[in-house]
Amino acid sequence: MGEVVVECVAMSEQLARNSVRTYRFAPEGFETVRKRLTLVQGITVVGVLGLTIGMDFQSADRDWLQGSLLALLPHVLAITLAVGILVYSFRRAMKKQRENWLAYELLVGEDFVIRRMPGLSEMEIRREEVTAIRHNAQGLTLETSSQQRTLGVPSTLQEFGEVRARLNEWMTPTELRRAAWKHSPNLVYGVILFELILFIVFFLSTQSWLLVCSGAPLCAGLAWSFVLVQRSAQLAPKTKRTMWIMLLPLIAIGFRLIEAIRNWR
């Protein structure tokens, strides 16, 4: 009788290892993401508001300086409308981000891993494709012979320990050594703030050297980001098509740069 019980337990463990399980993010984990997104959106609103006020101040008449506060009304309404549109857009983006968070799925089987998430291409990696499994504080990274086929397994998944244990059966993870600053959220905030400062300087400056010094890195950064997005195997085709809107500010900056160089002062 005891041998039968042991055999049943062994069979159950084997079936559990061979079964396909779906792992998702914990709903309460989105709070951390929400705080980070809110900070990014706040920085963006302040930057756009400063740019709008600066450009408006440059072109506005000065009647209000002579006591006519009514002359300010059209400018205040325009700024209020711009901020309202931004806030509405950010609220929609936050809602969409939460939907994507809740829709995320990671399917782990005996010899495959599949990631599904709106906005990203569905990716399946077979066990025989994996050349290395790296781990760090953010989770695991499944590497293959192609850099375009790299799959991240976030540590914020529910039952992440179980996922890691199952992938340990494929091969032993090795530590992914990278500089801590590369994974710091402060780096993202700093880059966004720096880009906003460049935008403000570029669109408010009247001196050619300032236009070139601020516009050249903006133009290069936007162009490089656009190329990376279009070449990414991770993003869904619909998301790539949406990102073509990046060409509009790129063209505007390009024309202003050309004008500044032609009319150097």
Low-confidence ranges of the chain (pLDDT < 70): 1-18, 55-72, 178-185, 233-234
pLDDT for 5 equals: 42
CA–CA distance, 207 with 202 (Å, rounded to integer): 9
Quick: pLDDT tens for 23-66.
998 888 888 888 888 887 787 777 777 777 776 666 555 555 55
Determine the 3-state secondary structure of 123 from DSSP: strand
- In our burial notation (b when 16+ CB lie closer than 10 A, e otherwise), range 18-41 reads eeeeebebeeeebeeeeeebeebb
pLDDT for 238 equals: 77
pLDDT for 50 equals: 75
Contact 211, 257 (CB under 8 A): yes
pLDDT for 60 equals: 55
Q: Which residues in the chain belong to E strands, given as ranges?
A: 21-23, 105-108, 112-116, 123-126, 132-136, 139-143, 151-154, 174-175
CA–CA distance, 258 with 123 (Å, rounded to integer): 42
Tracing tokens 């903006």 back to the chain, one arrives at 218
Quick: pLDDT tens for 133-151.
998 888 899 999 988 888 9
